Amino acid sequence: MKLDIEKIYMKSMSPTFYNILHDEEFLRFWTCKLCIPFGLENEYGKIIIKLELDEKNSEHVYLKKVVEHIEKLIRKKMDIDEAEFKSVIKKRPNKNDLLEIRLKTIKENIITKVEYEDKETHYLKTIYDLPKQSFAKVQLEINGLWDRRTDKKEENKCGLVIYATKMNIL
């Protein structure tokens, strides 16, 4: 899918949250094989995973460029200064960067679909059994933008909400 800034539509869901739609749909795409170095994590009441982006892997570099491009388009569309924007790509000096994504939940229950490639060995395993240093291909959904901008420019923060909708654990 070619991203066209003119086709990106921001639908206000509340004073501080917008759904991001492109051709009236959420942006969804699959990643290449990525490492989940820390397993499931809980940050600010959200269940997340961090995907390691290996600087030496061309597919990882491309994925990082795609996410950065989408962030840039959204910043331009919403007139957000780069200093106000909290990227989902966490830069780490002397280490590989991490792509931080949320798992879909309803009432604190994970609804992200998970499938283990080796069904015999992992036949009863769920997402809660996800070990550290796992590898997966993940379907990402760029769902929305949280926007906490006020009159105090130095305190303003905005960022994308990216969900894992499906995961194939390798």
What separation in angstroms does the CA of 81 have from each of 15, 85, 86, 147, 157?
Answer: 19, 7, 10, 12, 9
Name the token pair of 136: 């997966």
- CATH number of 140's domain: 2.40.50
The answer to whether the CB of 1 falls within 8 A of the CB of 66 is no
pLDDT band for 2, please (50, 70, 90 cuts).
Answer: low
Alpha-carbon distance of 125 to 25, in angstroms, equals 31
Q: pLDDT (tens digit, 9 = 90+) per residue, 69-107?
A: 999 988 998 899 999 999 999 999 999 999 999 999 998
Q: What is the pTM of this model?
A: 0.89
Number of domains within the chain: 1
Q: What is the DSSP string of 69-138?
A: HHHHHHHHHHT--GGGEE-SEE--TTS-EEEEEEEPEETTEE--EEEES-TTTTTT--GGG--TTEEEEE
Alpha-carbon distance of 162 to 64, in angstroms, equals 13
Q: pLDDT (tens digit, 9 = 90+) per residue, 134-168?
A: 999 999 999 999 999 988 878 889 999 999 999 99
Averaged pLDDT for residues 104-118:
91
The answer to whether the CB of 68 falls within 8 A of the CB of 97 is no
Closest CA to 145 of 18, 9, 36, 54: 18
The answer to whether the CB of 59 falls within 8 A of the CB of 35 is no
Residue 84's domain spans which residues?
5-169
Given a cut of 70, is residue 1 above it in pLDDT?
no
Q: pLDDT (tens digit, 9 = 90+) per residue, 19-76?
A: 999 888 998 999 999 999 999 999 988 999 999 999 999 999 999 999 999 999 889 9
Alpha-carbon distance of 24 to 33, in angstroms, equals 28
